[in-house]
A and B are shown apart, each in its own frame.
Chain A
Amino acid sequence: MYGKNEYMAEPAIDIENLTKDYPYGFLQLKKRRSLESLTMQVQTGEVFGFLGPNGAGKSTTIKLLMRLIFPTAGSARILGRPISDIEMHRDIGYLPEQPYFYDYLTAGELLDYFARFHDFSAAERHERVEGMLKKVGLESAGRIQLRKYSKGMLQRVGLAQAILHDPKVVVLDEPMSGLDPVGRREVRDIILELKKKGNTVLFSTHILSDAEMLCDRVGVIVGGKLQGVGAPSELVGLKAQGMEILFELPAGADGGGELLAQATRTGDRYRLQVEESGLYTAMERLGAAGARILSVAQVKPSLEEYFMHLVEADRAQAAAVEVRAK
């Protein structure tokens, strides 16, 4: 599942007790904790989704990894090297959140500019830039200045510069943000292609369906604290499951009264959720009431439900702390 480098002992990204406080107030003496003792690993070759609501600490973590901000405490290593090692940046690609680039450059010029930091020859730069513009669907717009680009086009340029040098580790901050469904699909394809090549991908998102679709593992961060890490199926499996009965009511059937009241109607069909233990009783009652049962399926809680469960728990905790403080 993790690709060709699955058995390498060292994680691609190794974060230990990473903490970040931001000072605030007129004299900057007060401190707001944005990230608290984050410890997690991203294994080599896996696609890791970093999930959390806005302001949860996702971008803070990524900025810390990129050395755009500095930790209050803790440390991190990428590909076995401390993040302070500038040479490590040869092997990583980074897409910032809502990227903005030099608007006086064309996409081709921007990519060429960034490629120069990787010591490619002129011919190799040209080849890579042209190839990358094609890959992100900007072949025809490559000669237009970036000031004329839409948000989605800038996002594609951002993705192109992140993977231009074929990095081993790709860190993407909200890569689907601002993209239309076609663009999102293309980004998903690129991530899957990276995974196929054995690259490690860490991306933050709050679009849970993308995470569910792409990620080997996800980490959920809420309120600056990591609340859970694991495969999406493992995480959602932590919650109790139920069963869903899909049925129709032929003309003249009474539908079983109380059960029908609990069901949700969509067109001519009804969906009824019951406990696993009560499944057969419910089916017997529906059958007796003349309902035609179309399917019975296990209700698998979605990542979204798991996510919302954590967010609500965090809010409740924050509210309790506030009440105690008052």
Chain B
Amino acid sequence: MTRIGTVALNTFREAVRDRVLYNLVFFALVMIAAAILVGQISVGIEQTVIITLGLSAISIIGLLISVFMGVGLVSKEIDKRTLYALLAKPLRRWEFIVGKFGGLALTLTVNTAAMAAGLFLALFYVKHSIERADTTVLVAVYFILLKLALMVALAMLFSCFTTPLLAILFTTGLYIAGLFVHEMRGLQGGLMDPTLGRLLRWVSYVLPNFENFDVMGAAAHGRVIPGALIAQNTVYSALYCAIVLAVATAIFSRRNLK
């Protein structure tokens, strides 16, 4: 555990010293500030606009960080050969993978928390108070984090066996596909060949279901998010990440570092 923590903390330190990250977070905060302006011209629905735009900004910036930095976690280490000296230490390859994942997950948590704080400040600026119903926004932020963790795991998996560019394309492709799993399940009936329908249904269960993490509408309108959904998404994300990281480790453990 100590070795995983050491790798994770160093990954976090790398992210903290990366100026690109600050630019992105700054951009997100500007977006949230802009949401206040947009909210002011949206009479009666200021809160809804601010929450929707704010959560979207957090999600988009988080996705950019998770995909681009997630792919770079392994590929950059291989390209720059920084990994060589590290793997000669008493460190197993799976510990390296899990540590790297943990480091970026920690980075995303801190960034998302900072952006969420910006969002709450914007809400407070408009409403002059924070109500109990606003906790749904926190749940939405938590779901974004779960989604980002999954994205990091997927980005790492692809970067273990392909080029960074392809890894970015595959991860983004899977994300887009994962937004339509419910539609894929509903695309049966007379529209297509039954075999293809069954195959699509199977694929929809294997694909990461990103639709379940989207509760932006509920949060914007102050609707309660059921505890069961919170538990389900937490377990789903944890299990999916564990499986993806296990596959990534299996591939990376056999990889020749030329």
Interface of A toward B, CB cutoff 8 Å: 22, 63, 66-70, 86-87, 89-90, 92-96, 98-102, 104-105, 113-114, 116-119, 158, 161-162
Which B residue sits closest to A87, measured CB to CB?
Answer: B90
Q: Does B13 contact A (CB under 8 A)?
A: yes
**Closest CB in chain B relative to A168 CB, distance in Å:** 14
When distances are taken between beta carbons in the complex, the residues of chain A under 8 Å from B132 are: none
Cross-interface CB contact of A66 among B2, B18, B87, cutoff 8 Å? B87
Q: Which among B3, B82, B254, B257 is the interface contact of A117 at CB below 8 angstroms?
A: B3
State A113–B11 Cα separation when bound (angstroms). 11
Smallest beta-carbon distance B185→chain A, Å: 37
Q: Does B17 have its Cβ within 8 Å of any Cβ on chain A?
A: yes
Partner of A89, one of B10, B82, B90, B254: B90
In the complex formed, the residue of A with least CB distance to B14 is: A104
Residue B41 lies at the interface, judged by CB distance under 8 Å to chain A: no
- Whether A102 and B82, one on each chain, are in contact in the complex, defined by CB atoms closer than 8 angstroms, is yes
Give Cα A153–Cα B40 distance, bound, in whole angstroms: 57
Report A-chain residues with C-beta under 8 Å of the C-beta of B13: 104-105
Interface positions of B (Cβ within 8 A of A):
2-3, 6, 10, 13-14, 17-18, 80-82, 84-92, 254, 256-258
Is B89 within 8 A of A70, CB to CB?
no
Measured between beta carbons, the chain A residues less than 8 angstroms from B90 are 86-87, 89-90, 117-118
Q: How far is the CA of A113 from the CA of B14 in the complex (A)?
A: 12
B3 CB, nearest partner CB in chain A, Å? 6
16 contacts between A and B (CB under 8 A): A22-B256, A63-B84, A68-B256, A68-B257, A86-B92, A90-B90, A92-B88, A95-B85, A96-B81, A99-B85, A100-B80, A101-B85, A102-B10, A116-B6, A119-B2, A158-B85
Q: Is the CB of A68 within 8 A of B84?
A: yes
The reply to whether B256 and A66 contact each other, CB–CB distance below 8 Å, is no
Measured between beta carbons, the chain B residues less than 8 angstroms from A117 are 3, 6, 89-91
**Beta-carbon nearest neighbor of A119 in chain B:** B2
- A89 touching B89 by the CB < 8 A rule? yes
Asked if B82 contacts A100 (CB within 8 A), the reply is yes
Contact of A104 among B17, B256, B257 (CB under 8 A): B17
Of A69, A87, A94, the contact of B88 (CB 8 Å cutoff): A94
Question: Beyond A86-B92, A89-B90, A117-B6, is A100–B81 a contact (Cβ under 8 Å)?
Answer: yes
Question: Which residues of the partner chain A approach B92 to less than 8 Å between Cβ atoms?
Answer: 86
The interface residues of chain A lying within 8 Å CB-to-CB of B6 are 113, 116-117
Give the complex CA separation of A22 and B257 in angstroms: 12
User: Nearest-CB distance from A116 to chain B (Å)?
Assistant: 5
- Measured between C-beta atoms, what is the minimum distance from B23 to chain A in Å? 16
CB pair B85–A161 under 8 Å, yes or no, is yes
A68 touches B85 (CB 8 A): no
Complex CA–CA separation, A105 to B12 (angstroms)? 12
Other A-B contacts than A66-B84, A86-B91, 7 sampled, CB-CB below 8 A, are A63-B84, A68-B256, A69-B257, A99-B84, A116-B2, A116-B3, A161-B85
Contacts of B14 in A (CB 8 A): 102, 104
- Rounded to whole angstroms, the CA-CA distance of A224 and B13 in the bound complex is 41
Complex contact B87–A104 (CB within 8 A): no
Instruction: Let me know if A69 and B85 touch, CB within 8 A.
Output: no
Residues of B close to A86: CB separation below 8 A: 90-92
How distant is B77 from chain A, measured CB to nearest CB, in Å? 9
Q: Hey, which chain B residues are within 8 Å of A105, CB to CB?
A: 13
Q: How far is the CA of A215 from the CA of B236 in the complex (A)?
A: 58
In the bound complex, residues from chain B placing their C-beta under 8 Å from that of A93 are: 88
Return chain A residues, CB-CB under 8 Å to B88. Answer: 66, 68, 89, 92-94, 96
Task: Indicate the member of A95, A104, A114, A117 with the most B CB atoms within 10 Å.
Answer: A117
Q: What CA separation (Å) do A117 and B10 show in the bound complex?
A: 12
The answer to whether residues A104 and B18 also contact, given A69-B256, A92-B88 and a CB cut-off of 8 A, is yes
Residues of B within 8 A of A162 (CB): 85
| Bound Cα distance A20, B47 (Å) | 64
Residue of A nearest to B83 (CB): A68
